[in-house]
Amino acid sequence: MELTAKAWSKSLESEMLQRWQREPHPERKGKTLTIDTPPPYPSGRPWHIGAAAHYAQIDMIARASRLLGWNVRFPIGIDRNGVPVEMYTEKKLGISLHTTPREQFVAACRTALDDLEAEMLSIMKTMGLSGDFAHVYRTDSPEYRSRTQATFIDLWKRGLIYEDSRLNNWCPGCMTTVSDNEVGYKEIPTFLNHVEFRVKETGQQITIATTRPELLCTAALVVFNPRDERYHSLEGKTALVPFYNLEIPIISHPIADPAFGSGLMYMSRSAGDLNAVRFLREMGIPYDVCITEEGRMNDKAGPLVGLSVRKARERISDELRKLGVLAKEEQINHQTPVCERSKHEIEYIAMPEYYLKQVEFLPVLKQYAQEMGFHPEAHRQILLDWIAAVTMDWPISRRRFYATEIPIWYCAACRHPHLPTPGSYVQPWKDTAPFAACTKCGNDRFVGEDRTFDTWMDSSISPLVVTGYFTDKGLHRKLAATVVRPQAKDIIRTWLFYSLLRCHQLTGKRAFARAWIMGYGVDEKGEKMSKSKGNVIDPIPILEKYGADQFRFWCAQETSLGSDFRCSEDRIVGAGKFLTKLWNTVRFIAPFQSKEPAAVRPLDQWILNELASLVKQCKAGYDDLNFFVPATAIRTFLWNVFAPHYLELAKVRAYRGDAAAIQTLHTCLRALLQLLSPITPFITDYLHRELYGSPVTGQPFPKPPAARKLPFTTDQLLQLDSMIWKAKKDRGLSLKAPVALLTVPAAFASIEQELVETHGVQQVARGEPAVQLA
RNA sequence: GGGCCCAUCGUCUAUCGGCUAGGACGGGACCCUCACACGGUCCAGGGCCAGGUUCAAUUCCUGGUGGGCCCACCA
């Protein structure tokens, strides 16, 4: 065979891809492992290099599992529902969801998604993902959406869904209710306004500090802490709200912090934060929102009506200043709740929304979180912490367009809800109701629901979709116990949590055997990549420049499982050298062929011992789905032990045609290629075919050679070689220069021949290691 | 404010409480030695701080500091 080139060429990768397309992975006999591949979300260009790295590693899960003997199902899906594409479309086309006809807007989103999706799929293919590209599923397909709807209908019938109007997180930008885990916090500078109220009964002046003066129009109470003795005399009195001249009671309640401001707070019926939401609920005070869905003041705000919340805040401060009741304005940084999607400041508005019960399922979810496997183990805690923090049911309805529709029609007369039979995809906002008459009042006119689902309602059933729950219950039962969920760390509280919840509600079982959690790809300074920072690295030019295997090897050896990893082009370049090293090692070994059986010499046994330990390390790494372990172990073996020491010492024998040396070289090489194949499938498959005439895939996991005790250790041998090289180097001699006298301990007697031949030793003596040059 | 995780050369990491803390990337010097200059050889460079346990601490404990993440949150 001919390996004339001096290095592996990434152009061979497309050749290999075509080859693989012609010969798909053979079904194996063993048990089946299903990967619940995270369907990536096409939210804009470029696709994040960290995401590409993530999928490269998921392919390593697939390939490593096959190498370990599993039959692997590796579906490929794309998540296409929800706000990100709507925002992308609004920005790209300069249109607004709220002013564009729904049909038209949905079509524009679909076009955008198709383009972005094509690019992601092409990247996945280029990287050599061994997934099922023939059956890509899309979460916005009528088929998938019909399943989301079917599960909703199921849960509805079982009484797990209810509608309620309660104060909830509202994003004025997205114009929808959002759930707690879509809310983030951002430090925003604002003013803490010290506003003077008067006590009606005594005329006494009291000061109240607030960041939300624009909510004064709905002021309900003034509160002080019962432990705060300064204000005991105010209990039961009445406060006069400036500007609006409202009369509100003063009460004591522990919610007020004596150390904050003056120790007095006012509570608005239009809650300014979650704490207030809870307080109102606890006190049984009906809410009375003074903010509109667009984030403007409504008519309750009197003269402020129509102003944005922010403008209203400035305006009321002006008014209070004019009245002489604004004692102080302090600039503070405020941890402000913002929408994680659109970054708008969250307001608390009550809208009727559907809720899915989750609180009562927390104990079983906790149990699942404790039972299932986690790679790495440490990340289990993130899920447990989240489960412990959940206090409310999940609001699942959204007032958006590009998402799965809630499958309900209401009787036009009595508003009674009607749900269709599960199975087909329905769009109540445009479809005619599939009912003859209202089951309650007999009326024959219906109004379709126009709200959609939170997208996690769709993605949380992916473990069921990929195991055939909706198409083949028998298959599902067979596959369900061995599902592996790979995903990023940041969506533990959403995707992982909701999947466990929903699958439990639908099947009564735990969705996953194991979860594999990867860290974030950060930039080379260690900072999070974000489009706003402009430090997002596009994977396409990287893959074009360096090829898939180089990228994959970099991914594997960059960081241990679960930690964040820095994306630095320099280090990707560095990873490529390994492929060249491997290539040239093969280039050296390939020409040597020997069929006759031969007994190994002690030197051969030494490297076989090392190989045995390598095989065990790789097995442990692959079992833990931690590719850092095999990648670094293989690299160290090849570069620090096998090539510089064994290869050099066995070289002369190999040239001579020594069968034991040649067979040992091939034993090591073959095992190396197989052990490495999950990480760098292109080069290993190419070389395995060239040398051994068969694909590297489909081989069983390499067996560790039988190890035998030797009189010298690896460290001793490495140090001996190094000592000789250093001696020559110090004298400015070539490494081929002869050694006049080499003194070695008796332990090396069995490999003396190789030492002599390799280092050009003229005479050998026994004793502590020493080199004497001519 | 509460919780979780982490802390080793510039970077990524190794090290059952015990040899001079090992390797890789990057840096420097020399060498184109017949698989490989995407190579070889050599060099420089590190245990966050303060206590404690111990014959012995990078390793175990406590506190601090510094990161990361999560939750709550100043009305």
Q: Which residue is nearest to nucleotide B69 (CA to C1')?
A: A382
With beta carbons less than 8 A apart as the criterion, state whether A153 and A354 touch.
no
Considering the entire predicted model, what is its pTM? Answer: 0.90
DSSP lists the bridge partners of residue A249 as: A238
For the stretch A417-468, pLDDT in tens is: 999 999 999 999 999 999 999 999 999 999 999 999 999 999 999 999 999 9
Could you identify the residue written with the tokens 């020409």? A591
Q: In angstroms, what CA-CA distances link A85 with A42, A44, A89, A90, A402? A: 7, 8, 6, 8, 8
Q: What is the DSSP string of A130-165?
A: -SEEEEEEETTSHHHHHHHHHHHHHHHHTT-EEEEE
pLDDT band, residue A408 (cuts 50/70/90) = very high
Q: Which residue is nearest to nucleotide B36 (CA to C1')?
A: A584
In degrees rounded to 5, what are phi and psi of residue A485?
-110, 105
DSSP lists the bridge partners of residue A198 as: A205, A240
Q: How far in angstroms lies nucleotide B66's C1' from the CA of residue A171?
A: 36
The confidence score (pLDDT) of residue A536 equals 81
Q: Is the CB of A378 under 7 A from strand B?
A: yes
Between CA A248 and CA A232 the distance in angstroms is: 17
Q: Is the CB of A340 under 7 A from strand B?
A: no
Q: Is the CB of A550 under 7 A from strand B?
A: no
**A194 three-class SS:** strand
The pLDDT of residue A79 is above 80: yes
Q: Is the CB of A482 under 7 A from strand B?
A: no
Nucleotides of chain B in contact with protein CB (under 7 A) are 2-6, 11-14, 23-26, 30-31, 33-43, 68-75
Q: Is the CB of A267 under 7 A from strand B?
A: yes
Average pLDDT value for residue range A249-256? 86
Exposure string over A455-476, b if 16+ CB within 10 A, otherwise e: bbbbbbbbbbbbbbbbeeeeeb
Between CA A649 and CA A724 the distance in angstroms is: 13
Q: How far in angstroms lies nucleotide B36's C1' from the CA of residue A588?
A: 9
**Single-letter amino acid, residue A577:** K
Q: How far in angstroms lies nucleotide B62's C1' from the CA of residue A633?
A: 37
For the stretch A621-634, pLDDT in tens is: 999 899 998 999 99
Average pLDDT value for residue range A197-213? 91
The pLDDT of residue A333 is above 80: no
DSSP lists the bridge partners of residue A328 as: A194
Nucleotide nearest to A265 (CA to C1'): B75
- The least confident of A104-113, A178-187, A401-410 is A178-187
Distinct helix (H) and strand (E) counts, chain A: 23, 28
pLDDT band, residue A604 (cuts 50/70/90) = very high
Q: Is the CB of A543 under 7 A from strand B?
A: no
Burial class (CB in 10 A: 0-12, 13-18, 19+), A258: middle
Q: How far in angstroms lies nucleotide B57's C1' from the CA of residue A617?
A: 28
Of residues 438 to 477 in chain A, which lie within 7 A of strand B by their beta carbon? Answer: none
Between CA A582 and CA A635 the distance in angstroms is: 9
The confidence score (pLDDT) of residue A25 equals 64
Between CA A309 and CA A67 the distance in angstroms is: 59
The confidence score (pLDDT) of residue A682 equals 95
The confidence score (pLDDT) of residue A84 equals 84
The confidence score (pLDDT) of residue A532 equals 66
CB atoms within 10 A of CB A751: 23
CB atoms within 10 A of CB A602: 17
Q: Is the CB of A263 under 7 A from strand B?
A: yes
Q: Is the CB of A567 under 7 A from strand B?
A: no
Tell me the average pLDDT of chain A.
90
Encoding tokens for residue A628? 């850092």
Pick from A540, A545, A567, A555: which is nearest to A119 by CA?
A: A540
Average pLDDT value for residue range A565-587? 88
Q: Which residue is nearest to nucleotide B31 (CA to C1')?
A: A734
For the stretch A736-749, pLDDT in tens is: 788 889 998 898 99
Between CA A750 and CA A708 the distance in angstroms is: 14
CB proximity list for A143: less than 8 A, separation 6 or greater: A137, A425
Q: Is the CB of A734 under 7 A from strand B?
A: yes
Tell how far CA A457 is from the center of its chain: 18
Average pLDDT value for residue range A407-426? 96
**A700 three-class SS:** coil
Nucleotide nearest to A582 (CA to C1'): B36
Exposure string over A82-94, b if 16+ CB within 10 A, otherwise e: bbbbbbbbbeeee
The confidence score (pLDDT) of residue A465 equals 97
The confidence score (pLDDT) of residue A549 equals 94
Q: How far in angstroms lies nucleotide B70's C1' from the CA of residue A381?
A: 10
Phi-psi region of A415 (alpha: psi -120 to 50; beta: other; left: phi over 0): left
**A601 three-class SS:** coil
Write the ipTM: 0.90
Q: Is the CB of A770 under 7 A from strand B?
A: no
Nucleotide nearest to A379 (CA to C1'): B5
DSSP lists the bridge partners of residue A628 as: none
Q: Is the CB of A389 under 7 A from strand B?
A: yes
Percentage of chain A modeled with pLDDT above 90: 57
DSSP lists the bridge partners of residue A453 as: A397
Q: Which residue is nearest to nucleotide B23 (CA to C1')?
A: A636
With beta carbons less than 8 A apart as the criterion, state whether A16 and A685 touch.
yes
Of residues 634 to 653 in chain A, which lie within 7 A of strand B by their beta carbon? Answer: 635-636, 639-640, 643-644, 647-648, 651
Q: Is the CB of A570 under 7 A from strand B?
A: yes
CA torsion angle A181 A186 A188 A192 (round to 10):
50
DSSP lists the bridge partners of residue A701 as: none
The confidence score (pLDDT) of residue A26 equals 67
CB proximity list for A397: less than 8 A, separation 6 or greater: A177, A353, A354, A406, A451, A452, A453, A454
Pick from A189, A191, A208: which is nearest to A199 by CA?
A: A208
Average pLDDT value for residue range A82-101? 88
Q: Is the CB of A209 under 7 A from strand B?
A: yes
Q: How far in angstroms lies nucleotide B33's C1' from the CA of residue A486?
A: 48
pLDDT band, residue A495 (cuts 50/70/90) = very high
Of residues 79 to 108 in chain A, which lie within 7 A of strand B by their beta carbon? Answer: none
User: E strands, A397-522, where?
Assistant: 397-398, 409-411, 417-418, 446-448, 452-453, 483-488, 514-518, 521-522
Average pLDDT value for residue range A748-771? 89
pLDDT band, residue A382 (cuts 50/70/90) = confident
pLDDT band, residue A1 (cuts 50/70/90) = very low
Q: How far in angstroms lies nucleotide B48's C1' from the CA of residue A656?
A: 56
pLDDT band, residue A2 (cuts 50/70/90) = low
- The least confident of A13-22, A293-302, A494-503, A560-569 is A560-569
For the stretch A37-74, pLDDT in tens is: 999 988 888 888 888 999 999 999 999 999 999 999 99
Q: In angstroms, what CA-CA distances link A286 with A270, A276, A686? A: 9, 12, 71
Nucleotide nearest to A6 (CA to C1'): B36
With beta carbons less than 8 A apart as the criterion, state whether A177 and A395 touch.
yes
